Structure 1
Amino acid sequence: MKQGLAANTDHAVERGAFGIPTMFTGPKGGATEMFFGKERLSQVEEELAKG
C-alpha cells in the first residue's frame, strides 16, 4: 500500500500537482487539464460534461 501511495504521489508531481485536491481531466494518455482546489469542482464538472 505504501509503495502504491508513493508511486501515485510521484506520478502526480511529474504531472505538475503541488497540493490537494488536484484533479486532472481528459483522455487517458492524452492532453489533460489540471484543476487545483475544491472551489474548482464546478469547472471540473463542466470539463467532464464535454465528454
Structure 2
Amino acid sequence: MPSAETLGMSDIVIPWNEDAKSLLETARKQGYRCYVEATPALLPTV
C-alpha cells in the first residue's frame, strides 16, 4: 500500500473482514486515518 503522502490523501475506509486488522495496522503505519465499514451485525467483532 502506498503511503498517504504519496497518494495525497489521508483517509481510508476498510471493509471489516478477516483481513481488516492487518490492513488497518499497515494503513496506520503508512499515515492514513482509518475508518471501518461494517454491518450492524459485525459491530461486536470490530
Q: TM-score range by the shorter chain?
A: 0.3 to 0.5
Q: Which structure has more strand as a fraction of its residues? A: 2
Give TM-score scaled by structure 2 length.
0.32
Give TM-score scaled by structure 1 length.
0.30
Q: Which structure has more helix as a fraction of its residues? A: 1
Computing the radius of gyration over CA atoms, which structure comes out larger, 1 or 2?
A: 1
